[in-house]
Amino acid sequence: MAKQKTEISIIIPCFNESRTILETIKKLNQIFSKSQNSYEIIVINDASTDGTQDQLDKLNDLRVRIISNRFQLGYGASIKIGIKNSRFEWIGICDADGTYPVDRFPDLLKYANDFDMVVGERTGKVRSIPFFRRPAKWFLNRFASYLVKRKIKDVNSGMRLFRKEIAGYYWNLFPDGFSFTTTMTLAFIMGNHRIKNLSIDYMKRKGRSKIRPFRDTYNFILLILRLAMLFNPLRVFMPAFFIVFFMTFISLGRDIHNLNLTDTTVMLFIFSIIILMIGLLADLINKKSTESWGR
């Protein structure tokens, strides 16, 4: 476990968090001002409409840099803007809504020089995850674990530390939306980088939730498909191929018994071959793409 000083840039993506943004910044300053680590706080205001910018304008702190997007670009895009404007090698991210225990950053920093990413895993005693988010979160964690063949308890935690240089390896993979952290977790795992998970609490958010059921469900389905194609397409396509091929075999057995080759059997067979070909092609593209990772 490292004990030497660590220089860190804390990035806070922010959209409509006028009630909590100043409190979050104040807590971070209190925590890091007590340590010997050099730090900066970068707030990315993603075109907020609730007076967040007015709150930020009240700040007169040289340790805090404020970047305001003219248009709403998204959670991931805001973090990427923060990374591009950061001065230090270690990047820390956290939300501005009061859900993450920012006082645990010193605990994460203890492992900075021994790992490439340290994740605050939301498995503590307090886990105020909205009920309607839990099924999607459970499925996402299981699906991600299946893709990388490694158990992941919290694939999309929004409180973590990571090396900027390594994040740069996968820059083109990182999306502009909320799937930024999920993609980062899987990229670091597939790249065999050193990852440390620390259990943290997750408090009830302050202010209005930004959940949009229909749009978020659509984005969630796209995320699952995107992750499958990016990281391990055969883990998805091969089971689908075997299921359809088995159905073809059953249908063919029925046709042989009735001495009549049906359209259903033919279509199932063609469909199974299409799935197999798409899976192999996706895997080939994936292999070609991942050859450049880490360069």
Regarding predicted confidence, which is higher, 283 or 127? Answer: 283
| Statement to judge: residues 12 and 154 lie in one domain | yes
Percent of the chain with pLDDT over 90: 74
Please report the sign of the dihedral spanned by the C-alpha atoms of residue 24, residue 52, residue 66, residue 87. Answer: positive
DSSP state of 205: P
- Is 3 part of a structural domain of the chain? no
| Statement to judge: residues 60 and 92 lie in one domain | yes
Q: How far is residue 108 from each of residues 5, 35, 181, measured CA to CA in Å?
A: 13, 13, 17
Asked if residues 230 and 183 have their Cβ atoms less than 8 Å apart, the reply is yes
At 239 the three-state DSSP class reads helix
What are the tens digits of pLDDT across the range 18-40?
A: 999 999 999 999 999 888 789 99
Domain count, the chain: 2
| Statement to judge: residues 260 and 175 lie in one domain | no
Alpha helix stretches (DSSP H) within 118-233 = 134-148, 164-169, 180-190, 213-231
Indicate the residue among 182, 203, 231 that finishes a domain: 231
| Statement to judge: residues 26 and 103 lie in one domain | yes
Q: Is the pLDDT of residue 1 over 50?
A: no
What are the tens digits of pLDDT across the range 162-173?
A: 999 999 999 988
What are the tens digits of pLDDT across the range 68-116?
A: 999 999 999 999 999 999 999 999 999 999 999 999 999 999 999 899 9
Reported as a pLDDT band with limits 50, 70 and 90, residue 206 is: confident
Percent of the chain with pLDDT over 70: 94
Q: Could you give the angle at the alpha carbon of 116 between the alpha carbons of 1 and 108, nearest 5°?
A: 50
Indicate the residue among 211, 231, 251 that finishes a domain: 231
| Statement to judge: residues 209 and 241 lie in one domain | no
Average pLDDT estimate for 237-249? 96
| Statement to judge: residues 240 and 99 lie in one domain | no
Asked if residues 178 and 211 have their Cβ atoms less than 8 Å apart, the reply is no
- Is 1 part of a structural domain of the chain? no
Reported as a pLDDT band with limits 50, 70 and 90, residue 4 is: low
Q: Tell me what pLDDT residue 3 has.
A: 53
Reported as a pLDDT band with limits 50, 70 and 90, residue 226 is: confident
Q: Domain of 88?
A: 8-231
Regarding predicted confidence, which is higher, 293 or 127? Answer: 127
At 257 the three-state DSSP class reads helix
| Statement to judge: residues 172 and 87 lie in one domain | yes
Nearest C-alpha neighbor of 203 from the set 129, 110, 103: 129
d(CA 275, CA 272): 5
Q: Is the pLDDT of residue 155 over 60?
A: yes
| Statement to judge: residues 152 and 210 lie in one domain | yes
Reported as a pLDDT band with limits 50, 70 and 90, residue 135 is: confident
| Statement to judge: residues 78 and 127 lie in one domain | yes
| Residue linked to tokens 């490292």 | 2
Q: Tell me what pLDDT residue 54 has.
A: 94
| Statement to judge: residues 82 and 207 lie in one domain | yes
Nearest C-alpha neighbor of 15 from the set 75, 56, 70: 75
Query: What pTM value is reported for the model?
Result: 0.87
Please report the sign of the dihedral spanned by the C-alpha atoms of residue 119, residue 123, residue 128, residue 130. Answer: positive
Tokens read off for 82: 């923060």
For all residues of the chain together, what is the average pLDDT? Answer: 90
